[in-house]
Amino acid sequence: MPVYQPWCHGNLTRSKAEDLLSKAARDGSFLIRDSESIQGAYALCVLYQNCVYTYRILPNEDKKLSVQASEGVPIRFFSMLPELVEAYYSPNMGLITHLQYPIQREEDVDEEPESNNLPPQLPPRNFPANDFKDSDPKSPEQSCKSLSDTYLMRLQHMDMSTIPEEQQVAIQEYFRTSIFLDAEQLQNGNPNLPGLKKLTMAICKNVNSEIYRILPSLEVFHRVLDQQLSPGIGQFPKQISADSGQSVSFRLEQLTKLIYSIEDKAKNAVFDSVGYEGSHRKSLIPLVTFEVKQESLGISTKMFLKVDVESGKIYFKKSKDGPEDKYYVHNKILQLVKSQKMHAKLVIVVETEKEKILRREFVFDDTKKREGFCQLLQLMKNKHSEKPEPDMITVFVGTWNMGNAGPPHNISTWFQCKGQGKTRDDTADHIPHDFYVIGTQEDPLGEREWADTVKGVLRNITNISFKQVAIHTLWNIRIIVLAKPEHENRISHIFSDSVKTGIANTLGNKGAVGVSFMFNGTSFGFVNSHLTSGSEKKLRRNQNYINILRFLNLGDKKLNPFDITHRFTHLFWLGDLNYRVEFPSTEAEYIVTKIKQQQYQELLSKDQLSMERSDGKVFLHFDEEEITFAPTYRFERDTREKYAYTKAKATGTKYNLPSWCDRVLRKSYPLVHVVCQAYGCTNDIMTSDHSPVFASFEVGVASQFVSKQDLNSAPQGGIQFMNCVATLLTKSKTKFCIEYHSSCLEKTVKTSEGENTEHLDGSIKVWFGNQVQLTPIISDPEYLLDQHILICVKSTDCDESYGEGCVALRAAQFCYTEFHITLTHHGEKTGTLTGGIQLHTSEVKPTEKLYDFIKVEKDDPVTSKGKSSDPNKFSAAQAHDISNPNYMGVSYKSGNVIDRGWSYSMPPKALPVAGQGGKDCKKSGYDVGARSPTGKPLNPAGEDKKVSEMFDNPLYGSMGKSHSRGKDPDLPQKDHLVPPDPMFTASKAADGDPDRPPVPTPRNRSFTCSEKPHPPTPVSPLTSVHKKPVVPSRSEGGMVNNRPPLPAKSRPGPPEPQTTKPRDYRDSSELPSKLRLPARPGQPQPHKDTHPEVPKMGRPVK
């Protein structure tokens, strides 16, 4: 595509194209961009009556171009785009209107190369070819003579006292004469530089002889160690012979590779001979003893808890050296329940020999000790689990801008999460993570050298030789993924890729590298990026992020409509993102003072990344753990006590204010378990002007499922979507359909065209009235509850995506469930999709997950006395929903998270569920209000038993920003849809829209819409006393207190609609007695304006 044409916009996004055309506001305005759906094709975008019409320009087998215009218009073929555009300036060519006003391409402001910032008075260090092509051109002989004189002058200032005399003469002779011969050879097309080769051969004469002498011995040794020895490789390779003509560098490289290979094979052979499989032959996790306090009858008693991970036992001792006769085995330790009010308090629920349930309450020295104890017990449960495959793993994610300097001798604190911020306790030092993902920028080391360095550090910490899953490098940007050896056979579908975002998007000094893989049935993606530097280049960084999203090719290639934010169960984005603290340079000393006082909140409020995320411009629906550590840039090297925030430039002093440039963010599918255990930076690694940043996560995973049911006799299951309505923020004039993608489906399913209704705010509302039935490849509910459906709203003419989202099947575990998801495309919000989902499967007892082992609860006013013979009193510890908040979408407090992009709501329990023969949820044996999302009963004794109030983990933050959706206008407090009757027809669905949520407020962004956004229309809830209250929805915080409904007489009256400001309960000594939202008395009355008849809209695009 010829870039010099003004109307050619290349890889312009669809929304940006709409924005440019809307700003033009003239009928006949047009531009051409690359097609997003077909490689090599183009999209002609034309504005007419404030709507954008898109026509595909397709090449045929002869590379001739044609426009897909209206039917009945003869197809014309053109050799080049300018010829095509010129022809369509004429009217009556099948377009909505003829082309009139080309939209000029916006010029990209390229990042300035670093060398431009160097003072001009410095002497040149290299001699690029264009330096010789100035206004006073020199002949090649003159240029080479100048180069020779320069090198000879430099040589005179070198200390050559340690160099043999003959080698000194050889070097001088090369710069006097041989360099001219090499220049002549280069002009004649010979790039081998024979003079240089002769010099290196002379200097390395002894090295050559040593290579010839030792290589045969090494080769024999290598063949002996090689397990896959072929019968025909007994001869020594001929290319190593003395007269082969190979360069010394090639021989050294061969020698180096051979020695590395020998080392690897020898280590593997020795490890195999002693039965070494990645674990130490002795105890890998040492015995750890915790000093705690136990209160009994108001008297505090000191006790000691000794944890033996290897044997699977926990000892309760009254003195540190006391007898170890009282202990519990791992399978008798039923639950750990953390106190919300007292951050160091923990309840251990155990089963005695007489099958009685015993609750033992202990108070640790501090919260970190309690967390270390919990992590050790969780590791113990996992280590001795009878499950063949894990359902939870831990992932370490680290990022470090090395500043083009090698690492210090000891970098172990980075991998042990020690330093500032949210760190691990010392008792967890030897607990290995399942995966280590390390991203570096400005990395001066080679891949092999860095990989060996990291492996060596981890071997010293954990006694495990980690396996390398992948390593990928773009210039000095690198990512490496290491895994425990035991996971080697669980990892598959490994991909890696890179994207350049440097100068003109062609240089790799800035950009991203990524790795993706499958771990059993869970997909992982990791992106390490180094974005544009400079405090003033925030918009350029935003564009870097969008380009990486669009062009980084990772994950399942079948998910072509989806970018990387939708392709993975868990996506982690790390790196030097280079977003700065937006303060005036005059405030530098003030910033440093605040940092010394550890008062970060004011600085974080001006953090560019947090502000851009709040505005929805980058990292939409990503989460970041709360930052509690000092800015990681820009330090003076070899110290962490002083920030070097000024830098002398030829153009003046440049300020690099202390900033949190190095970050780790994540994005996961809905209703999956993920918890951040650590997020901080080191204090003792000082070779760079950046400090390394670490983060660790506890992540739920799905196993490769093997059904216990007979596939022939098992009933065929189904997934049903219904009542789907999309609100799209677009000005395109087209029709839409929905595509459903998932690895659990037999094939991709596409719906028929929806019915469009345009709104005054510039959005389009699309009704998809027909119910859609999806057929899973496996109908076992245990398998389906771990699956997700990816949804893509597409145009039917250009086959381009207008928004993507994800729905978790676990949301419909018990009965019909409504969903509300935000649609995104290329990292920006493009609309919303609402609807209902229902599963048709057989009943099954849900399997308990490892992450259900640890709970968090608020202290009950009446505390337990310790012993209990009633097993039902254990019900409080079984309440799951808030113990792992991220599993249900209730996030820990994190830095300025806007929303997750999804919410779910349950219908009233008494409502019949469509497609189940009239059975309601209660008849099917499930009680939504009294069960956890994994199916574990919240109160087995019945609804009259009180369930303890459960909250999130105090170490990770408060529930004050639960769901983190307060700022998102598209996730409202929703009314519930009534599940449709099985015979409900498409025509009925189109009769009206009484039960839809209010139309979301218009988007607030810089794309697409030319009119000013209208303010949201307030909707006053209409209440009716005769309607039954409904269970609070998941999106309304209903999961915070999953209590049984109150008796009818004690139910509160209709509350006044009001917006409450979220509170941070960590700063409160007392917690509110009720955190859940009151039950609403009924549904709002249906709006009188039923669904209007959809006008017929001309479709010029066919």
Smallest Cα–Cα separation from 21: which of 13, 31, 6?
31
Give Cβ neighbours of residue 680 (< 8 Å, ≥ 6 apart). Answer: 417, 419, 420, 421, 422, 423, 628, 629, 693, 694
Residue 228: is its pLDDT beyond 70? no
Half-sphere exposure of 246 (CA within 13 A, CB side): 18
**pLDDT for 344 beyond 60:** yes
First to last CA, the chain: 24
pLDDT digits (tens, 9 = 90+) for 258-267: 767 666 666 5
pLDDT band at residue 194 under the 50/70/90 scheme: confident
678 has pLDDT over 50: yes
Structure tokens at 376: 């050790």
pLDDT for the residue numbered 628: 97
Beta-strand ranges (E) seen in 604-668 are 646-649, 652-655, 662-668
With cut-offs at 50, 70 and 90, classify the pLDDT of residue 856: confident
Q: Cis (ω within 30 of 0) for the bond into 634? A: yes
The answer to whether 619 and 577 have CB atoms below 8 angstroms apart is no
Structural element, H or E, at residue 201? helix 194-203
What is the Cα–Cα distance from 371 to 345, expressed in whole angstroms?
10
Question: Is the per-residue pLDDT at 920 higher than 60?
Answer: no
In contact, 725 and 766? CB cutoff 8 Å: yes
- Range picked from 187-191, 431-435, 769-773, 967-971 for highest mean pLDDT: 431-435
- Taking phi over 0 as left and psi of -120 to 50 as alpha, with beta for the rest, 957 belongs to left
Q: Is the pLDDT of residue 44 over 70?
A: yes
Count how many Cα atoms sit within 13 Å of the Cα of residue 900 in the half-sphere of its side chain: 29
Q: What is the pLDDT of residues 1032-1051, one digit of tens each?
A: 333 333 333 444 444 433 33
Over the stretch 681-727, which tens digit does the pLDDT of each residue have? Answer: 999 999 999 999 999 999 999 987 766 666 566 667 899 999 999 99
Q: Per the structure block, which two tokens stand in for 999?
A: 């139309």
Find, among 304, 316, 264, 306, the residue nearest to 285 by Cα.
Answer: 306
What are the start-end ranges of the H helices in 290-424?
Answer: 367-383, 412-415
pLDDT per residue over 198-222, tens digit each?
887 888 778 877 877 888 888 888 7
CB 699 within 8 A of CB 392: yes
The pLDDT mean for the chain works out to 76
Closest among 750, 569, 768 to 674, alpha carbons compared: 569
Q: What is the pLDDT of residues 498-521, one digit of tens each?
A: 999 988 777 889 999 999 999 999
Q: List C-alpha distances in Å: 20 to 803, 1010, 1025.
A: 19, 9, 51
DSSP string for residues in 985-1003: -HHHHTT--TTSPPPPPPP
Reported as type and span, the H/E element at residue 573 is: strand 570-576
Q: Count CB-CB contacts under 10 A for residue 131.
A: 10
Identify residue 484 by its one-letter amino acid code. K
Predicted local distance difference test score (pLDDT) of residue 270:
53
Cα separation, 693 vs 399, in Å, equals: 5
The position carrying tokens 């003239």 is 26
- Beta-carbon count within 10 A of 189 CB: 6
pLDDT tens-digit series, residues 434-448: 999 999 999 999 999
The one-character DSSP state at 788 is E
Please state, in angstroms and rounded to a whole number, the distance separating the CA atoms of residues 456 and 859: 45
- pLDDT for residue 391 is more than 90: yes
DSSP per residue, 427-482: GGTT---SEEEEEEES--S-HHHHHHHHHHHHHHHHS--PEEEEEEEETTEEEEEE
Distance CA 846, CA 854 (A): 17
Q: How far is CA 847 from CA 669, 781, 852, in A?
A: 20, 11, 10
Least confident of 101-105, 110-114, 175-179: 110-114
What does the pLDDT look like over 522-542, one tens digit per residue?
Answer: 999 999 999 999 999 999 999
Q: What is the b/e burial string over 436-468, where b = at least 16 CB atoms within 10 angstroms of the residue's CB?
A: bbbbbbbbebeeeebbeebbebbeebbbbbbbe
Q: Confidence class of residue 230 from pLDDT cuts 50, 70 and 90? A: very low
| Contact indicator for 434, 378 with CB cutoff of 8 Å | no
**Other Cβ atoms closer than 10 A to 479:** 26
Helix (H) or strand (E) holding 238: none
pLDDT tens sequence across 8-23 = 998 898 989 999 999 9
Q: Around 879, how many Cα atoms within 13 Å sit in the side-chain half-sphere?
A: 29
Highest mean pLDDT among 556-560, 571-575, 707-711, 782-786: 571-575
Six-digit token pair at 124?
Answer: 């040149």
296: tokens are 């009994």
Alpha carbon separation from 242 to 251, 530, 669, 933 (Å, rounded): 11, 45, 60, 71
Q: Is pLDDT of 54 > 80?
A: yes
Taking CA atoms, 945 is separated from 347, 561, 801, in Å, by 20, 49, 50
pLDDT at 252 over 50: yes
Q: Cα dist. 103→55, 89, 842 in Å?
A: 16, 14, 58
The answer on pLDDT for 629 being more than 60 is yes
- Please give the structure tokens belonging to residue 200: 């290196």
Pairing of strands 736-741, 788-795: antiparallel
CA distance 309 to 325: 17
CA 830 to chain centre: 20
pLDDT(1010) > 50: no
Compute the distance between CA of residue 923 and CA of residue 943 in angstroms, rounded to an integer. Answer: 16
Could you say which DSSP state residue 409 is in?
A: S
Output the DSSP codes for 110-141: PPPPGGGGS-TTSPPS---GGGGSSSS---HH
Torsion of CA 388, 394, 397, 398, to 10 degrees: -110
SS3 content of the chain, % helix, strand, coil (to 5): 25, 25, 50
pLDDT higher for 935 or 623?
623
> Residue 898 pLDDT > 90, yes or no?
no
